[in-house]
């Protein structure tokens, strides 16, 4: 694989971006992590030398910020080979209908769903300059309706209205974009990286059992 392959990984709070960056570096990618708000501050404060990635601050809700980000990637690399839409947030755990705050749901959708659309729109011109462009949208089983209906599924009892529905929306969006991009050279995938074996809330790790699946998507 060409050592000049370039990947962008978005980050908004789940902490997986550095794990993705490590795997990507091992597979000869140059990695840019685009992080927003607290995630950027947390990553910039960590004293790790050398880093496996270049870190940039991006506001995924701002067209101007995304345009500036696209310009930086274009000037630095001239293309983009891989986009990993990993940015996500969660709130309202266990909330029943009378406890749901609509503004909280809008906040989750802005990052978990709308930002994916915005980022793809902003970076698509750079992806088209790659010989083998790929997009991976990071999803969750909590947005899989079939799994959530299965009482044997360890997270089926979780009530995360904003998060689960945002991931369900992302799953449908990914399906539709796969059809749209099929005639083009852009390949799009959906990937759920979280290990389920201990069924512990907030256990955000890339399970060894699915790591090979991820690697198959980036080669």
Helix (H) or strand (E) holding 39: helix 37-45
**Residue range of the domain that includes 37:** 5-89+110-140+166-194+203-218
The tens digit of pLDDT for each residue in 64-92 reads 999 999 999 999 999 999 999 999 999 99
Residue 55 lies in a domain: yes
- The pLDDT, as a whole number, for residue 204 is 60
Residue 198: is its pLDDT beyond 50?
A: no
Residue 169: is its pLDDT beyond 60?
A: yes
CA 70 – CA 64 distance, rounded (Å): 10
The tens digit of pLDDT for each residue in 100-152 reads 999 999 999 999 999 999 999 999 999 999 999 999 999 999 999 999 999 98
Within the chain, strands assigned E span: 5-11, 29-35, 54-57, 82-85, 134-138, 187-191
Residue 104 lies in a domain: no
Rounded to the nearest integer, the mean pLDDT of the chain is 91
Residue 95 lies in a domain: no
Residue 197, both tokens: 């074996």
Residue 120 lies in a domain: yes
Residue 17, both tokens: 């971006």
Supply the CATH number for residue 48's domain.
3.40.50.720
Residue 32 lies in a domain: yes
Query: Residue 37's Cα: distance from chain center in Å?
Result: 16
Q: What total of structural domains would you count in the chain?
A: 1
CA 186 – CA 175 distance, rounded (Å): 14
Q: Helix 208-218 vs helix 17-26: angle between axes, to the nearest 10 degrees?
A: 60
1 or 195, greater pLDDT? 195
- The pLDDT, as a whole number, for residue 1 is 45
Residue 101 lies in a domain: no
Residue 105 lies in a domain: no
Residue 159 lies in a domain: no
- Residues 19/91, Cβ–Cβ less than 8 Å: no
Question: Where does the pLDDT of residue 197 fall: very low under 50, low under 70, confident under 90, or very high at 90 and above?
Answer: low
**H helix runs in 92-184, sequence order:** 102-109, 115-127, 145-149, 161-181
CA 99 – CA 182 distance, rounded (Å): 42
Query: Residue 21's Cα: distance from chain center in Å?
Result: 12
pTM more than 0.85: yes
């Amino acid at each position: 694989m060409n050592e000049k392959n370039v990947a962008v990984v978005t980050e908004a709070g789940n902490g997986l971006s550095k794990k993705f960056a490590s795997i990507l570096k091992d597979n000869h990618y140059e990695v840019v992590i685009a992080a927003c708000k607290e995630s950027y501050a947390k990553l910039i404060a960590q004293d790790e030398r050398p880093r496996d990635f270049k870190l940039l601050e991006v506001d995924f809700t701002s067209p101007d910020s995304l345009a500036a980000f696209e310009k930086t990637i274009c000037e630095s690399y001239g293309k983009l080979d891989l986009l990993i839409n990993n940015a996500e947030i969660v709130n309202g755990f266990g909330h029943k209908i009378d406890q749901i705050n609509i503004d909280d749901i809008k906040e989750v959708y802005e990052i978990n769903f709308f930002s994916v659309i915005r980022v793809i729109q902003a970076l698509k011109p750079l992806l088209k300059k790659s010989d083998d462009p790929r997009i991976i949208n990071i999803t969750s089983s909590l947005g899989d309706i079939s799994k959530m209906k299965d009482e044997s599924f360890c997270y089926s009892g979780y009530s995360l209205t904003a998060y689960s529905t945002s991931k369900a929306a992302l799953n449908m969006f990914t399906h539709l974009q796969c059809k749209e991009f099929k005639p083009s050279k852009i390949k799009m995938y959906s990937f759920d990286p979280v290990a389920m074996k201990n069924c512990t809330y907030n256990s955000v790790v890339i399970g060894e059992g699915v790591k090979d699946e991820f690697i198959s998507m980036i080669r």
